[in-house]
Amino acid sequence: MCGLLGFLSADAQAGTVVDVVTAAGRCMRHRGPDESGRSWHDDDLALTFNRLSFIDIEHSHQPLRWGPPENPDRYALTFNGEIYNYLELRAQLTEEFGAAFRTEGDGEAIVAGLHYWGVDGVLPRLRGMFAFAVWDTERRELTVARDPFGIKPLYYATGPKGTAFSSEKKSLLALAATAGIDLDLDARAIEHYTVLQYVPETESLHRSIRRLESGSYSVLRPGGQVRERRYFHPRFPVRQIAGGPDSPEAEAKYHEIAEVLRDSVKMHMRADVTVGSFLSGGIDSTAIAALAIQHNPDLITFTTGFEREGYSEIDVAAESAAAIGARHVVKVVSPEEFRSAIPAIVWYLDDPVADPSLVPLYYVAKEARKHVKVVLSGEGADELFGGYTIYREPLSLAPFDRLPAWARKLAGRAGDRLPDGQRGKSLLQRGSVPLEKRYYGNARSFNDAQLRSVLTDFRPEWTHLDVTAPIYAQSQGMDPVARMQHLDLFTWLRGDILVKADKMTMANSLELRVPFLDKEVFAVAETLPVDAKIAHGTSKYALRRALEEIVPPHVLHRKKLGFPVPLRHWLAGPELYDWAREAIEASQTDQWIDKRAVLAMLDEHRAKAPEGWPGGTDHSRRIWTVLVFMIWHGIFVEDRIHPAIEEPDYPVRL
């Protein structure tokens, strides 16, 4: 897990700016404090790298040079991530082509595979998480790529002087003048963020800075443009299990899930350093920890929570750790810690993400880094195995699908006339709308009326359909649940879940690995029909059946909470109300946000707290969405907020 930065010059001037590139890379030293600022350049390309070392620690330095015997330094590689099947790939390359290697690490497997198999041959073979850049000094072309799910980030920007690319956007901001990058904000991306609570790929809030899409690559030459090509095409089948979800065929599938997860965790444990595991009260992280301890009997698990009742899974996680025999470490986050960490967290994010669980995740990562250098986590299980409660919605709305269009429209109008909070209102409203329009992921902060009151330049033509329509077009022919999963793979998972996982662990120089998001696990998960995902009124049915002999009984059917945050209570109370009001009033975002409307929303939220926020008066997520944007704007646009960023100081081995 590292931080890479490069600049591909349009006019063969890379050598004159290598020092500027190296300096720009220092702001992400937290991603790689073991070896910081190593650089390489030729006339066309300048590279710098910050390394967090896990495999072949004494060698495998980057930028890494490799080539065939006739030109042993032909390629230069910078690589963020891990290739878990690198030993198998190296052996295959040696057997098939006589490939020779200078190190014992995984980076050379990428370069040698690219050389012998080509980009379309090597990418489907890589089992891991990655964002890499490989420069071919003979062909004078740069190949950049990301893993299938977008676990590792890669930003890029092209200006008249060349193309810059990096693991973090803040390094590109530091290179803006060198590359001629325009730093104007993107109004449409801001509106998308306000609705979705994250900035959807491939956008960023700076118009000229984009992200290479997950599961894609690009091959570019000096002076050229980044043209993405997708190599990962997920598909979910339309079929049923013969005999139903409790048949012998289904039992065989559940056994297959359990075995592929065992193998994935085993592969993800490969490291020359200690590996721990995050542990909440849910089935996903518990399964990963239970499988991991089979390979490391001294496994340490980590959890976090708050003192407020109902907003902590510490007791359940501790019970799970005791059941599997793991040493358990707990971090309780106070309101003061929550509040004080927000500016630094937003700085680490690069673009705003309005998910309050970022804060406890930041603190549990900080605690874990005192004990281990790598942690496993359960991200991705819900998207792959049908874990979100809303995935059951197509069953409840199925009768609406049989109605003619005019009848569905009448049902929607009837729902609109019902008062807020009235039973059946949401059912009628959502049943009257096609799936493609009603479902755009797990985050829905603002409706149009609320957006119009908060955004100073609200554009009704900019909607979530800008983001979701192309993704839905790829899922034609799938069942409704599979289409929702497919959408979440390309929106919520890579826009929120994986961004916060990467940014908050890397803020603490900690590597996070996600065994569910493994290409072999996905190969099994994508074959599951809908009746194996939401059978018998539960979510993730197939996964729960697969884990019956792996996870303790007390979590097998427990509702997922993750790291819940008492945000609604704190914004109405002394913990966050005054802080939020001061942040809103100090913000210089009048071009984008109507502060009076936000302050009115904050006051209404506080006023309704004693009544328990009747109707739609719980504004906590909407307020938080705006607050995070305002803090981001204060850091990256106004230069008014200057977070205290700690200098990373960790041992190479842990």
Q: What is the pLDDT of residues 552-608, one digit of tens each?
A: 999 988 776 667 899 999 999 999 999 999 999 999 999 999 999 999 999 999 999
Q: Which of 131, 133, 118, 171 is nearest to 44 (CA)?
A: 133
Cα–Cα distance list, 553 to 178, 281, 320 (Å):
58, 12, 9
Quote the pLDDT of residue 205.
Answer: 98
Quote the pLDDT of residue 646.
Answer: 87
What is the C-alpha separation between 78 and 82, in angstroms, rounded? 12
The topology under which CATH files domain 248-387+490-556 is Rossmann fold (3.40.50)
Q: Which of 208, 622, 252, 322 is nearest to 449 (CA)?
A: 622
pLDDT, tens digit, 9 for 90 and up, residues 47-99: 999 999 888 788 889 999 999 999 999 999 999 999 999 999 999 999 999 99
Residue 207: partners with Cβ closer than 8 Å, 6 or more residues away: 182, 184, 185, 186, 189
Quote the pLDDT of residue 560.
Answer: 64
Ramachandran sector of residue 642 (left: φ over 0; alpha: ψ -120 to 50; beta: rest): beta
What is the C-alpha separation between 493 and 518, in angstroms, rounded? 14
Q: Is the pLDDT of residue 630 over 90?
A: yes
pLDDT, tens digit, 9 for 90 and up, residues 185-199: 999 999 999 999 999
Taking the model in full, what pTM does it have? 0.95
Quote the pLDDT of residue 652.
Answer: 73
Task: Please give the structure tokens belonging to residue 155.
Answer: 């930003």
Q: Is the pLDDT of residue 653 over 80?
A: no
Task: Please give the structure tokens belonging to residue 512.
Answer: 């996070």
| Angle, vertex CA 178, rays to CA 174 and CA 181, nearest 5 | 75
Show which residues are catalytic: 2
Average pLDDT of every residue of the chain: 94
- The average pLDDT across 402-416 equals 89
Task: Please give the structure tokens belonging to residue 592.
Answer: 């984008």
pLDDT, tens digit, 9 for 90 and up, residues 2-36: 999 999 999 999 999 999 999 999 999 999 999 98
Percent of the chain with pLDDT over 90: 82
Domain map (residue ranges) of the chain: 3-183, 248-387+490-556, 567-636
Which 8-state DSSP code applies to residue 535? G
Task: Please give the structure tokens belonging to residue 179.
Answer: 């590359």
Phi, psi torsion values for 77, nearest 5 degrees: -120, 135
Q: Are 212 and 203 in contact (CB under 8 A)?
A: no
- Cα four-point dihedral sign 158, 162, 164, 169: negative
Quote the pLDDT of residue 240.
Answer: 66
Least confident among 250-264, 401-415, 516-530: 401-415
Q: Are 481 and 534 in contact (CB under 8 A)?
A: yes
pLDDT, tens digit, 9 for 90 and up, residues 496-514: 999 999 999 999 999 999 9
| Angle, vertex CA 82, rays to CA 79 and CA 86, nearest 5 | 105
Task: Please give the structure tokens belonging to residue 557.
Answer: 């059917």
What is the C-alpha separation between 112 and 97, in angstroms, rounded? 10
Cα–Cα distance list, 453 to 191, 398, 588 (Å):
13, 34, 18
Query: With 0-12 CB in 10 A as exposed, 13-18 as middle and 19+ as buried, what is 318?
Result: middle
Q: Is the pLDDT of residue 619 over 90?
A: yes
pLDDT, tens digit, 9 for 90 and up, residues 435-452: 999 999 877 778 888 999
pLDDT, tens digit, 9 for 90 and up, residues 332-347: 999 999 999 999 999 9
- The average pLDDT across 482-491 equals 96
pLDDT, tens digit, 9 for 90 and up, residues 230-277: 999 998 877 667 678 888 888 999 999 999 999 999 999 999 889 999
- The average pLDDT across 121-147 equals 98
Distance between first and last Cα of the chain: 15
What CATH code is assigned to 3-183?
3.60.20.10
Quote the pLDDT of residue 239.
Answer: 67
